[in-house]
Structure 1
Amino acid sequence: MDTLDNGRLKPHFAMNGGYGPLSYVKNSSYQGGVLESAKAIIEEEIATNLDISTNQIKNTFCLADFGCSTGKNSFPAMHTIIEAIKRKHESSDLKTPEFHVFLNDVVTNDFHTLFRSLPPQRDYGVAAVPGDFHGRLLPQSSIDFAYSSWSLHWLTEVPRAVADRDSPAWNGGEIFYCRERRVVYEAYLHQFERDLEAFLKSRTVEMVEGGIMALLIPGVPEFWDPRKEFTVVSTVELLRSSLIDMAKKGRLSKAKLESLNFPHYFPTPQELSAILQRSPNFSIERMEILKTETFLNAQGHTSCFRAVHQTMLTHHFGAEIVDELFDLYRKKLEASPAFSMPDNDRTIVLLTILKRIII
């Protein structure tokens, strides 16, 4: 939860909690919009790929959402998955099991809002599992279906070389990676590889053999034109520009700016596929490139970005500059031709269906 002296960041910062105008509950429609695109695919994979024979013995079915935040997008996803599993049992003339849902996020997550937001009419039990999902969280062979959406792009830490002034990969003042600076780009990619492999290793122990995992990871296409188009990477670049302007005005220190690096990586489809193919315990059943159906104007983008990153930025720079920073950020969005049209949004979401290999 802290920024270390050498600039390394452990990104265990939760989304903005509560129900206020700056909360994640009120400003996560962009992330939630992809579920509509993914819904039919997830339902089809449950119908054709999920093994439900073992559930007849234990009469329970356990799901886990890794990175649930305050539930705005988690609960519709859990409902979609459970209804599809019910239909599969009914079509197979099998007894519908009892459902249990484990909701996971970092320990600083607003679990109070999460549980206050629980759907009153639901037919599943719920338990919170706080902690970093890159490590073990749940009992061995306890999960039948795992789900994670818009979470796995968060890194466990900023790559160490990026925060080291004596390293060729030192990234002082850039706050993120770009492909042109290859050494920085590769440091971020390797960190993402290590973290995703750690996530899969933990789920290997926790999932039943034959269990299904659905991962929705925001990414970028292999090729796109940043002069005319935008992705999630572009939003961080605009924030960097805003921070530089504020540093020039003396509103924040150069040292603080140079020690900030965003703890995200947004893979291309080729990069994600290569990492997943190396896993000895999961098979890739399906991989699709999706687009969110939600378009946000400049104010919407700003509110969404703030709901996700305000805690991190406040921790690093202090609360006194945050309003000014996001006001400047919004103005830069409004002035950018690339952000003016929905068709210019090249952000993609990589939906991958994995199956726990039966040994």
Structure 2
Amino acid sequence: MINSIPSLISFPMNGGESPYSYANNSCFQRRGTDSAKILLHEEITNKLELKQICSSSNVFNIVDMGCSVGPNSYIAVQNIIEPIVSNYQSQGLPSLEFQVFFNDHVANDFGTLFKSLPCDKNYFAAAVPGTFYNRLFPKASMHFMHSSYALQWLSMVPNEVEDKNSPSWNKGKILYDSKEVEKVYAAQFDKDMGSFLNARAEEIVCGGFMAILLPSIPTGADPSKCTITAIFHLLGSSLLDFANMGLLDEAEVDSFNLPQYFASPAELEAVIERNGRFKVERIEQWVQPIPQASKSFVEQFASCMRSGNEGITGGHFGSELMDDLFNHYTKKLVDSGLFSDSSYVPLCDMFFFLRRIDDNI
């Protein structure tokens, strides 16, 4: 029997190719993908043992989990395939065929993704809709799994933050901004990552790999002084501004919380160690390269935020408010000077490269 957990959150990134689509506004995620490319090449080149994991087939199965929409997904896939091809050519092995599975929630705009796939791609492509916190594939059927900028999305908002009688009630906020609220968000992340790792451990062949790229905070950093959380608090304060102007009911804001958590490398490593079914081959964290924090840069970043969060925000408050809300948010973000404020920890990414190990070890 396949184990499952409830899939309570399913608000995809903005689909299509509109000015506020994810496909046209994910340049920051693209920078992370580009930064991870050399790490993928090094790890695959040095550690992939094709004879071991493809001993009975010439088909190599790859999964991109949380693929969303746009070019970043197939660029990441190509970054995986290139060193694998070099690897088997250098070993004089027979040519491999690649099967790539693109996974995200059922509501994801797979149509736009597949229309944008390169016509000269060197793999077969298929969509696998469903939450990656559940099983998605047969046992020991996948050779390489990849996920970028997806696992910060939790399966659900922690119940305590919406309970008025809980010390973790998150009144007037949309993301954790106190130790009590942060604690329950961290617990939800821990639970979800445990489910994710258990599912992937069933699906990846022994000796297969998984690469994870995530927005993060440094180990030991105060989340309230990190840019990654501050940008969401500004969105929350924009909603409160609308409530003060009578455009929203304050109770609507109190009942809205984003299911996102930005972990540190130490937190993710601890979940992996407790799971015990993967070996951590490499951990890297770096500051996202940001050009001068000009007005145009901040406006571009606000569009990126809209492309990723408009679906869930509009689902709660109504889509008719989204233009005014995100215009207000953009101005607020520009005026904040956040990206040039040295008292805040800058945007960071972390990269984990994992090997599926024998359960008997």
TM-score by length of 2: 0.92
Give the match's secondary structure for 2:60: strand
Counterparts of residues 194-205 of structure 1 (less than 5 Å): 194-205=191-202
Aligned counterparts, 1:43-122, within 5 A = 43-53=41-51, 54-122=53-121
Instruction: Determine which of 285, 297, 312 is the counterpart of 1:289.
Output: 285
Separation in structure 1 between the aligned mates of residue 306 and residue 29 of structure 2, nearest angstrom:
14
How far off its partner does 1:32 sit?
A: 1.0
Calculate the aligned-residue CA RMSD, in Å. 2.0
Map of 1:332 onto structure 2 = 332
Percent identity, please.
Answer: 41
Q: CA deviation at 1:218?
A: 0.9
Tell me if structure 1 keeps the 8 A contact 2:288–2:346.
no
Alpha-carbon distance in structure 2 between the residues aligned to 1:114 and 1:37: 22
Q: 4, 10, 13: which is aligned to 1:12?
A: 10
Unaligned runs of 5+ in 1: 1-7
Q: Matched residues in 2 for 1:96 and 1:169: separation?
A: 55
1:25 corresponds to which letter in structure 2?
A
Contact 1:145 1:207 (C-alpha < 8 Å) held by counterparts: yes
Structure 2 counterpart of 1:192: 189
TM-aligned CA distance change 1:61 to 1:184, over 3 Å:
same
| Residue 81 of structure 1: how far off its partner (Å) | 0.6
Gaps of 5+ in 2: 1-5
The match for 1:133 is 132
Q: Tell me which of 7, 27, 30 is aligned to 2:28.
A: 30
Aligned to 1:21: 19
1:307 aligned partner = 307
Are 1:221 and 2:218 counterparts?
A: yes
Residue 143, structure 1, aligned to residue 131, structure 2? no
SS in 1 for 2:275: coil
- Whether the 8 Å CA contact 2:256–2:316 is kept in 1: the answer is yes
Deviation, structure 1 residue 9? 10
Task: Name the residue aligned to 2:235.
Answer: 239
Contact 1:15 1:309 in 2 (8 A): yes
Cα offset for 1:56?
Answer: 4.4
The residue identity in structure 1 corresponding to 2:244 is K
Give the TM-score of the pair, scaled to structure 1: 0.93
1:170 match: 169
- Across the two proteins, how many residue pairs are aligned to each other? 349
Q: Label 1:72 to 1:14 Cα distance change in 2 as closer, same or farther (>3 A).
A: same
Partners of 2:167 and 2:99 in 1: CA distance: 49
Aligned-partner Cα distance in 2 for 1:294–1:82: 28
- Conservation of the 8 A alpha-carbon contact between 1:34 and 1:291: no
**Aligned counterparts of 2:183 and 2:221: Cα–Cα separation in 1:** 19
Counterpart AA for 1:176: L
Q: Measure, in 2, the Cα distance between the counterparts of 1:342 and 1:60.
A: 49
